[in-house]
Amino acid sequence: MRAYRDEPVVNAHDKALYRGERYGNFSYHIPLARGKFRLKLYFAETWFGTPASQEPALGSRRFDVYANGACLLRNFEIAKEAGVNREIVKAFENLQPNAQGALWLEFVPIKNYAEVNAIEIEQTE
């Protein structure tokens, strides 16, 4: 599922990244060349803790993120780490494609839906 927001993310280096988000229980299958990669995941809690949601930010959204079956983020709570309408970027180094030549990202809800605003992958080797 996708959502688009009007409220700007306060500290975002690129506010356009946070105008939309993907949420739910979802995955990405990203074909990659051989080598090592840096993955950046961009997040902002733009729903919980806002007047529109009428629900508190803390404790409302938690999820896990996996890359090729390995856990990158466990029980991740955007609002706890960044606050509401604030950017947080999580970077992971030395990721490699799986045997099928892809990076398989899974966003698995624990409480309410998982969410991501943007994904960036850069080859490092």
Residue 96 has, within 13 A of its CA and on its CB side, a CA count of: 5
What gap in Å lies between CA 43 and CA 12, rounded to an integer? 10
Instruction: Let me know if 17 is exposed, middle or buried by CB neighbors in 10 A (0-12, 13-18, 19+).
Output: middle
Per-residue pLDDT tens digits for 13-53: 898 999 999 999 999 999 999 999 999 999 999 999 988 88
What gap in Å lies between CA 13 and CA 116, rounded to an integer? 16
Q: Token pair of 8, please?
A: 């700007």
Please tell me the pTM assigned to this model.
0.94
CA 23 from centroid of its chain's CA atoms: 9
Looking at CATH, the fold of the domain delimited by 2-123 is given as Jelly Rolls (2.60.120)
Per-residue pLDDT tens digits for 74-116: 999 999 999 999 999 999 999 999 999 999 999 999 999 999 9
